[in-house]
Chains A and B, each alone.
Chain A
Amino acid sequence: MRARLPWEGVVGAALLVAVPFVLPDWMKFIVTLAMAKFMAVLAVALFLRANQVTFGHAMFYAVGAYTVGFGVKWFGVRDVVLLLPLGAILGAAAGALIGLVMARYREVFFAMLNLAFSMMLYGALLKLYWLTAGTDGLSAGVPLFLGYAPARDHLRDFLYYATLLAVAIVIYAVYRFLASPLGFYLKAMGDNEIRIEYSGESVRRVMYLTYVLSGALAAIGGVLAAFIVGHIVPEYSFWIQSGEFVFVALLGGYASVVGPLVGSIAFEFIRTYASKYFPNEWQMVLGIIMLAIILFRPGGLWAIYEAIAARFARKESEVQGA
Chain B
Amino acid sequence: MPDAILQAVDVTKSFGMVKAADGISVEIRAGELVGIVGANGSGKTTFLNLTTGYLKPDRGRVVFMGRDCTGLPPRVITKLGIARSFQIPQLYTNLTVLESLLLAMAAQAGKGTGCWQPLYRAEWTTEGLQTLDRFGLRPYARRPVSELPEGGRKLLDIALSFALRPKLLLMDEPTSGVSIEDKFQVMDTLMKVIDENRLTTIFVEHDMEVVQRYGRRVLAFNDGQVIADGAPDAVLADPEVRKAVLGRA
- A-side residues, CB < 8 A to B, are 176-177, 179-185, 187-188, 190-192, 194-195, 197-202, 205-206, 209, 213
| Chain B residue nearest to A186 in the complex (CB) | B115
Chain A residues with CB under 8 Å of B84's CB are 198
Chain A residues with CB under 8 Å of B241's CB are none
Contact A179 B120 (CB under 8 A): yes
In the bound complex, CA of A125 to CA of B170 (Å): 55
B104 at the interface (CB under 8 A from A): yes
Chain A residues with CB under 8 Å of B117's CB are 180
B77-128 with Cβ < 8 A to chain A: 78-79, 83-84, 86, 90-95, 99-100, 102-104, 106-108, 111-120
Contact B114 A202 (CB under 8 A): no
| Chain B residue nearest to A180 in the complex (CB) | B115
Contact of A199 (CB < 8 Å), options: B73, B86, B160: B160
Contact B113 A209 (CB under 8 A): yes
In the bound complex, CA of A182 to CA of B114 (Å): 6
What is the interface of chain B mostly: helix, strand, loop, or mixed? Answer: loop
Contact B114 A181 (CB under 8 A): yes
In the bound complex, CA of A6 to CA of B108 (Å): 34
**A104 CB, min distance to chain B CBs, angstroms:** 14
In the bound complex, CA of A2 to CA of B112 (Å): 21
Contact of B111 (CB < 8 Å), options: A181, A187, A194, A206: A181
B216 at the interface (CB under 8 A from A): no
**A298 CB, min distance to chain B CBs, angstroms:** 14
A and B contact pairs by CB, cutoff 8 A, 8 listed: A180-B115, A180-B118, A181-B114, A184-B95, A191-B91, A191-B94, A198-B90, A201-B112
Contact A182 B115 (CB under 8 A): yes
Beyond A191-B94, A198-B78, 13 additional pairs, beta carbon < 8 A: A176-B116, A177-B116, A180-B115, A181-B111, A181-B115, A183-B115, A188-B94, A191-B91, A191-B95, A192-B92, A198-B75, A199-B107, A200-B75
B43 at the interface (CB under 8 A from A): no
In the bound complex, CA of A200 to CA of B112 (Å): 9
B57-85 with Cβ < 8 A to chain A: 73-75, 78-79, 83-84
| Chain B residue nearest to A205 in the complex (CB) | B113
